[in-house]
Chains A and B, each alone.
Chain A
C-alpha cells in the first residue's frame, strides 16, 4: 500500500507507545498517534487527557482536549486539578506525548512566542499542560512535522524543558522525569545521544534522503553511527489509521486527515 509522509509519521510515533503504558496525551498529532497505538499494537495503553478523562477510548479523534467522546469512553473522569496533582505530579504517567510549534537540538519546546515575548512576531497559544508533563512524565515523546522553521538552532522561548542545555541539565534542574526520548517527524526519528543528550537521527523513513533532513533542520543535525531505515507502515497500521480518520471526518464534518 502506498502511504503519505504524514501517515508514516503517525505510524512511527504510534509504534513507540508500548502496550500498557500510561500516556498523558496532547491534542492533535499526539492524540492521533496514541489512539492509533491503542487500535493496533498497544490495546491496553491508558490514555489520559488533561481535561479529566482517564482511560479514554474514543472511536473518533477529539477536536478539542475536552470532547464529550473522551468522557463517555473513559474509565473515569476527574477534575482537571486532580489530573495534574494526583496523576501527573503524583508520578503515575509513563509517557507524556507532546506536539510543539518549535523544538531545539535538546528537545526543548516553544509554544509561547516567536520573537520577543513583550513584542512578539507571532503570539502562539502558550503552555497548556506541557511544562509539567515535560517535567514529570517518566518519559516524553514529541511528534511534529520537520522544517527549518520548526527545528531551530535557538528557541525564542523555552515553554517546556527537554534536556535543557544538554548533558546533565535535567538532573541539575531537579526534574523527576527522564525527559524526551524521541522526536518523531515526517522524515525521520531522532533520539538523544548518550551523554550530550543532543538529538541525533537514528532512523530515516523510507525514501527520505539525509540531504532532505539536513535542509529541514535549523541546526547542524548529526546522524547516529548506525542509522536504521524505518519500517514502512503495514497494511494493518494504515487501514487502522485511515478508518480512524474517516470516522473522525464523518463525525466532525471534515476532510480525512484534517483532524
Chain B
C-alpha cells in the first residue's frame, strides 16, 4: 500500500545517495517538484535515468546530484541545448558525469522489460548506427527461430521511480491520462515508486481501461498541485513555454544557474514556497 506522505518525507524515506532514479514523464507530467526536493535534500551520486532529460535533469546535474546519466534525447524542447548537461559532459562541471546513451525505442523497450521482470529487451534496432560503438551495453542476440540478429539491451530497473499524475484516491490508487510516455512501465520496473499528484479525491471515477496504478504497487503518494510545472498536466494546466525559454539564459552560465538554484530551490522550504517565489518574481518583472 502506498503511504500518503509529504514530498519531503517521501524523498527522505525512499531516495538514497547512490540510487538509480528514474523521474519519468514524456514532455507531459514531468515530476519537477520531486526533482527540486531531491536537490533540497542534497542527494548525491545518483544514477539518473530518463528518456528525455529536460530541465528537470539539467537542474539535478548542475546542482551536483548526478554521477551518471542514462538517456536517449537531451535537449530543451523547442528551445535548444541543456547547458548544464552539456557543461557536465564537455567540461566535467560541477563534477565528471558518466553518460550511457540509447535511443528512445531502446529505453522504452528496456522499461517494458524491467516492468516484466526480464533481464533484457529485444528489439530491431541500431543496425548501421554508431551508438553500439560508444555504448558497450548495446549488444545483439540471434533469434532461435528465424536466425535474425536483433538488438539486446539491459532492462531498466531503477531503485526508485518518480512520476507525476493527475489524481489519487485516499487509499493511494493513482489515475493518469493524456500522453502517458513510459510512466506506467517505469513505475512497475522500479523497486520503489513515488507518485506526486495534482489532487486527492474520494473516488477516481476511472473509465474501465484507464491507466490506473493500484496503491499496492506504489510506495508513496504525495499531494503536490502544480508539481509538473513547467511541463503540463492535462486537464489542469498548460505547458509554460515561457519558462522553457527563460531557462536558457539561466542555465547557460554557471554563476547564474547556481544563484537560481540557491534562491529558488535551496532557498525555499518546499514546492509551494517555490511557486510563490516564482510568481512574485514574474509579477515584479512585468
Question: Bound complex: CA of A80 vs CA of B26, how far in Å?
Answer: 8
In the assembled complex, which residues on chain B have CB atoms less than 8 Å from the CB atom of A252?
241
Question: Bound complex: CA of A112 vs CA of B184, how far in Å?
Answer: 28
- A80 and B180 form a contact (CB under 8 A): yes
Q: Which residue on chain B has the smallest CB distance to residue A74?
A: B179
Question: Bound complex: CA of A117 vs CA of B133, how far in Å?
Answer: 10
Interface assignment of A35: CB less than 8 Å from any CB of chain B: no
- B28 and A81 form a contact (CB under 8 A): no
Within the complex, what minimum Cβ distance (angstroms) separates B23 from chain A?
Answer: 15
Within the complex, what minimum Cβ distance (angstroms) separates B110 from chain A?
Answer: 9
Q: Which residue on chain B has the smallest CB distance to residue A165?
A: B128
Q: Among the listed B130, B180, B239, which residue makes an inter-chain contact with A67, where contact means beta carbons less than 8 Å apart? A: B239
In the assembled complex, which residues on chain A have CB atoms less than 8 Å from the CB atom of B234?
68, 71
Q: Among the listed A71, A84, A89, which residue makes an inter-chain contact with B179, where contact means beta carbons less than 8 Å apart? A: A71
Within the complex, what minimum Cβ distance (angstroms) separates B102 from chain A?
Answer: 7
- A77 and B180 form a contact (CB under 8 A): yes
In the assembled complex, which residues on chain B have CB atoms less than 8 Å from the CB atom of A195?
none
- B103 and A128 form a contact (CB under 8 A): yes
Q: Among the listed A66, A117, A118, which residue makes an inter-chain contact with B181, where contact means beta carbons less than 8 Å apart? A: A66
Within the complex, what minimum Cβ distance (angstroms) separates B11 from chain A?
Answer: 25
- A131 and B28 form a contact (CB under 8 A): no
Q: Among the listed A85, A117, A125, which residue makes an inter-chain contact with B74, where contact means beta carbons less than 8 Å apart? A: A125
Within the complex, what minimum Cβ distance (angstroms) separates B257 from chain A?
Answer: 17
Within the complex, what minimum Cβ distance (angstroms) separates A200 from chain B?
Answer: 21
Binary contact track A179-206/B, C-beta < 8 Å → 1, others 0: 0000000000000000000000000000
- B28 and A84 form a contact (CB under 8 A): no
Interface assignment of B278: CB less than 8 Å from any CB of chain A: no
- B105 and A129 form a contact (CB under 8 A): yes
Count of B residues near A, CB < 8 Å?
52
Within the complex, what minimum Cβ distance (angstroms) separates A146 from chain B?
Answer: 21
Question: Bound complex: CA of A81 vs CA of B123, how far in Å?
Answer: 11
- B26 and A253 form a contact (CB under 8 A): no
- B130 and A112 form a contact (CB under 8 A): yes
In the assembled complex, which residues on chain B have CB atoms less than 8 Å from the CB atom of A89?
105, 123-124
Count of A residues near B, CB < 8 Å?
54
Within 8 A of B (CB), among A143-187: 157-161, 164, 169-170, 173-176
- A126 and B73 form a contact (CB under 8 A): yes
Question: Bound complex: CA of A63 vs CA of B79, how far in Å?
Answer: 9
Question: Bound complex: CA of A160 vs CA of B71, how far in Å?
Answer: 16
Q: Which residue on chain B has the smallest CB distance to residue A159?
A: B129
Interface assignment of B178: CB less than 8 Å from any CB of chain A: yes
Interface assignment of B108: CB less than 8 Å from any CB of chain A: yes
Within the complex, what minimum Cβ distance (angstroms) separates B283 from chain A?
Answer: 17
Question: Bound complex: CA of A64 vs CA of B111, how far in Å?
Answer: 22
Within the complex, what minimum Cβ distance (angstroms) separates B134 from chain A?
Answer: 5
Binary contact track B170-206/A, C-beta < 8 Å → 1, others 0: 0000000011111011000000000000000000000
Interface assignment of B127: CB less than 8 Å from any CB of chain A: yes
Question: Bound complex: CA of A157 vs CA of B125, how far in Å?
Answer: 17
Within 8 A of B (CB), among A41-84: 50-53, 63-68, 70-71, 77-81, 83-84
- A79 and B184 form a contact (CB under 8 A): yes
Q: Among the listed A68, A84, A176, which residue makes an inter-chain contact with B104, where contact means beta carbons less than 8 Å apart? A: A84
Q: Which residue on chain A has the smallest CB distance to residue B110?
A: A81
Within 8 A of B (CB), among A198-217: none
Within the complex, what minimum Cβ distance (angstroms) separates B87 from chain A?
Answer: 9
- A253 and B241 form a contact (CB under 8 A): yes
Binary contact track A86-122/B, C-beta < 8 Å → 1, others 0: 0011000000000000000000100010000110100
- B103 and A68 form a contact (CB under 8 A): no
Q: Which residue on chain B has the smallest CB distance to residue A252?
A: B241
Binary contact track B43-61/A, C-beta < 8 Å → 1, others 0: 0000000011000000000
In the assembled complex, which residues on chain B have CB atoms less than 8 Å from the CB atom of A132?
103-105, 123-125
In the assembled complex, which residues on chain B have CB atoms less than 8 Å from the CB atom of A27?
77-78
- B72 and A128 form a contact (CB under 8 A): yes
- B134 and A135 form a contact (CB under 8 A): no
Binary contact track B200-237/A, C-beta < 8 Å → 1, others 0: 00000000000000000000000000000000101000
Question: Bound complex: CA of A53 vs CA of B234, how far in Å?
Answer: 14
Beyond the given pairs A84-B105, A253-B242, 9 more chain A to chain B contacts, judged by CB atoms under 8 angstroms and listed by A's residue number, are A52-B180, A66-B27, A67-B27, A68-B179, A78-B180, A81-B108, A128-B104, A131-B131, A132-B104
Chain A to chain B: the 8 pairs with minimum beta-carbon distance, closest first: A161-B128, A66-B27, A63-B78, A125-B75, A64-B77, A128-B73, A84-B105, A132-B105
30 A-B pairs with CB atoms under 8 Å apart are: A51-B28, A51-B181, A52-B180, A63-B239, A63-B244, A65-B77, A66-B26, A66-B28, A68-B179, A77-B179, A79-B185, A80-B26, A80-B51, A80-B180, A85-B112, A88-B105, A112-B131, A126-B75, A126-B101, A127-B103, A129-B103, A129-B104, A132-B104, A135-B124, A135-B126, A157-B130, A161-B129, A169-B128, A174-B148, A253-B241
